[in-house]
Chains A and B, each alone.
Chain A
């Protein structure tokens, strides 16, 4: 009767998988795509993440799988990344003051120029791609996925204070990059 019990179990799991994972595939892919900066790698990351999500379905508490799935996507991406040369990852990112500008002028975005450019989307995408990956991910999670600080902290497994400071630095850099795109 193993077959029958197993069939029932796999059936329940299929339902739960459909509810927890499938509604958030776009979010998963968008995050992976922005992390990996490559469509093929992003697909591989999401597929691998979904296999893990299915295996660890029970680790999702509650009925909203978004933050949980994004956590798995992110971990999958980084564990794949660590197999490659690590020079792009910066473990001291939070202490790196070269990346942090308090200067007021960094925020001087000219709204007219920002909104009139035909290539505005490309410029913004390019600026975002220039961000170190640790900063890029908080911007994606906050601005594109609209996650709260608490949810981002959960996905990144860092304190909310770190989320706040990374977001602040990321925005400072982003404003600077956008401005330099204008020049």
Chain B
């Protein structure tokens, strides 16, 4: 390799962009040519100077918060964005559509509401994983988690550690479901996170229900005056096992 060639190759060499053969040829040349060897040293020095010495600007919190909200706003606003309508036009169209269909859908809504709630459960679960805010109180100690909820909720959720059965309690947090503040208990089984939402059972008791929504499994059941929702990407069989275990605890098991 000649000096002219070597001068071209020094940068790519330090960038790790030179193929093995050319790199060997360059190294050989650098061993023989003091002036090219000096150039190579200067390249290396400049490289580490810039890498170690330049300010790296990290995204401010408020920017991060705004961006993470972008995709999580309501589906309607996403639809509006996609259709590129101004908000008033969208609102108008939506109002017209609602006015047209409100009479016919009333009974439909009634029948569909449990599924809507199951979808809300899934949405809450996904959000809890996304924002890296799984637990307000992060501990496997049920005797810490349970008192944490008192004063924050007007009911006392059952908190059981099921580590012996392979469901480790990770912690708890407050969440919002069906228009109410609810308890969210977080369990872990292998790599799978499970949210168990607890809210006082409504007057009309619904029995055990299971759903599969967007790859997540959801189980809903009643126990001791509470409506329980478990949701996870865990398979339906194991999720149902958690349901049985919690129900057994509630029945004094």
Contact = CB atoms under 8 A, between A and B. Distances in A.
Interface of A: 3, 6-15, 17-18, 21-22, 25-26, 28-30, 33-34, 39, 42-43, 46-47, 50-51, 54-55, 102, 104, 107-109, 111, 114, 120-121, 123-125, 128, 139, 142-144, 148-149, 164, 167-168, 171, 174-175, 178
Contacts of A30: 56-58
Interface string B179-220: 000000000000000000000000000000000001000000
B43 interface: yes
A164 B8 CA distance: 9
Interface in B34-75: 35, 39, 42-43, 45-47, 49-51, 53-60, 62-64, 66-68, 70-72, 75
A7 B76 CA distance: 8
B78 interface: yes
B42 A108 contact: yes
Contacts of A51: 70, 81
Nearest to B84: A55
Interface in B70-116: 70-72, 75, 78-79, 81-82
Nearest to B131: A18
Contact of A109 (B46, B55, B58): B46
**Majority secondary structure, B binding face:** helix
Interface in B91-147: 119, 122-123, 126, 130
Contacts of B8: 168
A143 B57 contact: no
Given A46-B59, A50-B70, A168-B11, A178 B49 contact: yes
Q: Which 6 A-B pairs have the closest CB atoms?
A: A17-B71, A29-B59, A33-B57, A14-B71, A107-B42, A124-B53
**Majority secondary structure, A binding face:** helix
Given A33-B57, A47-B66, A144-B54, A174 B71 contact: no
B12 interface: yes
Contacts of A123: 53
B46 A171 contact: yes
A174 B67 contact: no
B17 interface: yes
A128 to B, nearest CB: 6
A22 B58 contact: no
A148 B17 CA distance: 8
Nearest to B51: A143
A114 B119 CA distance: 59
A149 B19 CA distance: 13
B15 interface: yes
Contact of B78 (A10, A43, A125): A10
Contacts of B58: 26, 29-30
Contacts of B39: 104, 107
Nearest to B129: A18
Contact of A54 (B11, B15, B70): B70
Given A6-B79, A8-B214, A139-B50, A149 B15 contact: yes
Contacts of B15: 142, 149, 167
